[in-house]
Every structure is written in C-alpha cells, then in structure tokens.
C-alpha cells in the first residue's frame, strides 16, 4: 500500500479494465472456436465424424465418472 491513499483508489479501476479486456478477448476466442468446431462437425469429411464420435464418447465417460464420484 502506498503512502498516498489517492493513488490506491486508481488500482481497482485499472484492474477492472484489465479484467474486462481479458473477458472480451476470451469471448472472441470462444466464439471463433465454436464456429470452427461447428464447421468441422457439419463438414462431410469422414475424419471429422470420427473425431466428433471420439469426443462424444470421451465426454460421456467423464460425465459417468463425475456421477460415480457424486454418489
């Protein structure tokens, strides 16, 4: 903490701006990634279908594991 308390009042504002910037970047990244995944899953490429099936099975296994640990 600095000796001058007026300087400390600026820290939350800068931190909040930083958080907002990161959140904005994260949102853009997630939207772009979602578009890419959607395009892959909707393509006629057979490897995309295999990949989608693999991740669906992986997700189901993880969900099953979570259910078993909750009990």
What pLDDT is recorded for position 28? Answer: 92
pTM: 0.44
* Residue 8 confidence class, pLDDT cut points 50, 70, 90: low
Which residue would you say has higher pLDDT here, 71 or 31? 31
What is the number of residues in the chain?
71
Residue that the structure tokens 């910037």 belong to: 21
Instruction: Count the helices and strands in the chain (H runs, E runs).
Output: 3, 0
Please, what is the average pLDDT of the chain? 77
What pLDDT is stored for residue 12 in this prediction?
55
Report yes or no: 30 and 41 within 8 Å, Cβ to Cβ: no
pLDDT tens digits for range 22-56: 999 999 999 999 998 888 777 777 776 677 788 88
């Amino acid at each position: 903490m600095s000796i001058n308390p007026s300087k400390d009042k600026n820290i939350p504002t800068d931190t909040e701006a930083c958080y907002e910037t990161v959140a904005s970047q994260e949102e853009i990244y997630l939207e772009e990634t979602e578009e890419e995944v959607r395009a892959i899953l909707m393509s006629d490429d057979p490897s995309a279908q295999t990949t989608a099936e693999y991740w669906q099975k992986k997700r189901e296994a993880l969900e099953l594991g979570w259910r078993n640990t909750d009990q």
